[in-house]
């Protein structure tokens, strides 16, 4: 299996400030044949299922605010929220879909400072 490791485990950011969450995979999730990274980011609020925000490491899902962006390639990825809003309080997960056995990071809890 590919192990996904996120950092930090928790993060407190002031409203309007930038939040950055990192994700590292134990092996590359880049398909060199099409230069696509098989990496998605999800947001999960209490009592709700995860919701996809970003796929292909940097493509925003329809309807996701443009303050959310994804970057990185190979084994190292970042989710950035450019200006934190109150409704962004949640747990964020990365997930690889490079191999059939899907795996998720342990999650990063984002709170307001």
Partner 1 sequence: QVQLQQSGPGLVKPSQTLSLTCAISGDSVSSNTGVWNWIRQSPSRGLEWLGRTYYRSKWYNEYAVSVNSRLTINPDTSKNQFSLQLNSVTPEDTAVYYCAREATGGNGWYLFYFDYWGQGTLVTVSS
Q: Which residues bind partner 1 (CB under 8 A)?
A: 1, 38, 40, 42, 48-52, 55, 61, 93, 95, 97, 100-107
Whole-number minimum distance, CB 107 to partner 1, in Å?
7
Q: Which residue has the tokens 């190292």?
A: 76
Q: Which is nearer to partner 1, 84 or 90 (CB)?
A: 90
* CA angle 67–51–101, rounded 5-degree value: 120
d(CA 104, CA 91) in angstroms, rounded, equals 12
Sorted by sequence, the CB contacts under 8 Å of residue 100 that are 6+ apart come out as none
CB 42 within 8 A of CB 91: no
Whole-number minimum distance, CB 15 to partner 1, in Å?
28
Q: Which is nearer to partner 1, 41 or 84 (CB)?
A: 41
Whole-number minimum distance, CB 61 to partner 1, in Å?
8
Q: Which is nearer to partner 1, 56 or 78 (CB)?
A: 56
Tokens of 96: 């690889």
């Amino acid at each position: 299996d590919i192990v996904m490791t996120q950092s930090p485990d928790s993060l407190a950011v002031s409203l309007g400030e930038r939040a950055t969450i990192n994700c590292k995979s134990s092996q590359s999730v880049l398909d060199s044949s099409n230069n696509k990274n098989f990496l998605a980011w999800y947001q999960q609020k209490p009592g709700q299922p995860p919701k996809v925000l970003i796929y292909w490491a940097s493509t925003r899902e329809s309807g996701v605010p443009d303050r959310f962006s994804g970057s990185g390639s190979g084994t190292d990825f970042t989710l950035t929220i450019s200006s934190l809003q109150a409704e962004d309080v949640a747990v964020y997960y990365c997930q690889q879909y490079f191999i059939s056995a899907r795996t998720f990071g342990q999650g990063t809890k984002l709170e307001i400072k």
